[in-house]
Every structure is written in structure tokens, then in C-alpha cells.
Amino acid sequence: MAAKKILIMDDAKDMLSIYSDMLSKYGYTVSAAQTPEDCLRIARATAPDLILLDVVMPGMDGGTVARHLMEDPRLSSIPVIFLTSMVSPEEAAAVYKPGARMYISKASHPSEIVAAIRKVIG
């Protein structure tokens, strides 16, 4: 079975590197975008299985990027997990409702992030 593809958007290069390295070690194929525009372009070109979006971005925030994804019929079925430093893991878990977008704290342990990804795409 082919590796699941994950696209990560974060404006901090170090965070992109950390997430890319971590998810690659778990067998995922990872693409990275430092800008919302790059994220949308890469999503259209690669059709990832999941997109991790930083919430707070300069210019277009993660919520706006998610809205653009939902409006594109080719991308609307791609699950999105928001990464944020604005909530604790407990608050993020409380926000999640089945079928809704998921929020994960950037302070979460890598195993929690991977567990959330596995919950969504295996």
C-alpha cells in the first residue's frame, strides 16, 4: 500500500522541518508549504490525504485556507487538522466533534499528533 500523503502549512520553517521529519519517520509522504498560496497550489497538484494547517498565518489564516479547500470540488473531501499554539491539548480535544475539523495544540507530544492523524486517515 502506498504511503499516505500529508501536506503541512506553517509559516515557521523550523516547525515545518520538525513536523516533516516526525511524520516521515512514521511512514507518511510529506509536503510542506510556508505560505497559504503555496499550500493551495501544492494541494491542487498533489491531492494529499490530509492537510495540517497552522491557524495563525500572515495574510490568509488557516481557517481561510480551509474555506478555499472546501470550495474547490477537487479538494473539498481532504480532511484538515488545524495546528495551533492558541489552545491546550485539553481545549483542543473539547473542541473536536466527529465530522468537524480537528484542532491540535502545537505543544502536543508527537505521539498525540500522529494518533490524531491515524484517527483521521489511518
Sign of CA dihedral 14, 12, 44, 77: positive
Q: What is the pLDDT of residues 62-90, one digit of tens each?
A: 888 888 888 999 998 999 998 877 655 55
pLDDT tens sequence across 9-18: 999 999 899 9
CATH 3.40.50.2300 fits 5-121, yes or no: yes
Contact 30, 8 (CB under 8 A): yes
Domain assignments of the chain as residue spans, ordered by start: 5-121
Write the burial class of residue 25 (CB in 10 Å: 0-12 exposed, 13-18 middle, 19+ buried).
exposed
For residue range 14-38, what is the model confidence (pLDDT) as tens digits? 989 999 999 999 999 999 999 999 9
